[in-house]
Amino acid sequence: MEKKTLGFKYFLKNPEYAIASAFLGIILISSLMQVLNRLIPGMKAPWTLELITYVFGGLIWIGIALAIHDDSHVGIRSVYQKFPKKARKVLKVIHLVLFGIMICMFGYLGLMALMSYARRGQTTPALHAPVWLMRSPIVIGAVISVYRLIERIVMVFRNKDPEFIYDIPVGLEDLGIEELIREGFIKEGDAK
């Protein structure tokens, strides 16, 4: 198994990790500034709470794309695992297509809202930043999510989805493939 390095190429292939890391860093710094704002009498930074709110909302949408990439969305595995492999593949594709339709609808509605904010020239109260810019992670997250959903569907059709490649022991379905290999539950060459 080739070791993943966190270089520039890795973040180009997986932008949701870089965006999520940046958002978490912004939230951390803004939170620290908010605490200092309350402790130091002369320090005024009223925009920190607003920035935290917008960035956290963006982090949710990037997190959706990240969960699709890692195939770690919440599901009812106990019922799903009882189906035969071919039925699970069909169910997974149906699930991914329906989820994609929902994400497309949210992305479209988010885009319409962004265009409306831009037309009206709305700005945020404390930051005085354009609202369309602060809400743009909704659309960015939706686009990345749709891309990741299409990628997952293609993996299922090409028999490259890790769920169908390895014989994962019952009860360990929620662990990642790398972790299962590292812990010795499956071997790298144990493809079905």
Band of residue 117 on the pLDDT scale cut at 50, 70, 90? very high
pLDDT of 44: 82
Q: 106-115 pLDDT, tens per residue?
A: 999 999 999 9
Contacts of 51 (CB under 8 A, 6+ apart): 26, 30, 127
**Which of these, 155, 159, 154, 179, lies nearest to 169 by C-alpha position?**
179
**How big is the chain by its Cα radius of gyration, in Å?**
21
Rounded to 5°, the CA angle 189-80-167 comes to: 10
Q: Is the pLDDT of residue 169 over 90?
A: no
Higher pLDDT, 105 or 178: 105
Range with the poorest average pLDDT among 9-13, 108-112, 141-145: 9-13
Domain ranges across the chain:
8-160
d(CA 71, CA 74): 9
CA distances from 30 to 10, 12, 173 (A): 27, 26, 37
For residues 22 and 185, give the distance between their C-alpha atoms in angstroms, rounded to a whole number: 34
Cβ 77 vs Cβ 173: under 8 Å: yes
Mean pLDDT of 147-151: 95
Alpha helices (H) along 42-161: 47-70, 77-80, 85-120, 131-157
Q: Count Cα atoms within 13 angstroms, Cβ side, for 140.
A: 18
pLDDT number for residue 1? 45
Q: Is 108 helix (H, G, I), strand (E, B) or coil?
A: helix
Output the 3-class SS for 43-60: CCCCHHHHHHHHHHHHHH
pLDDT digit string (tens) for 28-58? 999 999 898 888 888 888 899 999 999 999 9
**pLDDT (tens digit per residue) in 63-105:** 999 999 888 877 777 777 788 888 989 999 999 999 999 999 9
Amino acid at 124: T
pLDDT at 192: 55
Q: Does this model's pTM top 0.85?
A: no
Q: Predicted confidence band at 178 (pLDDT cuts at 50, 70, 90)? A: confident
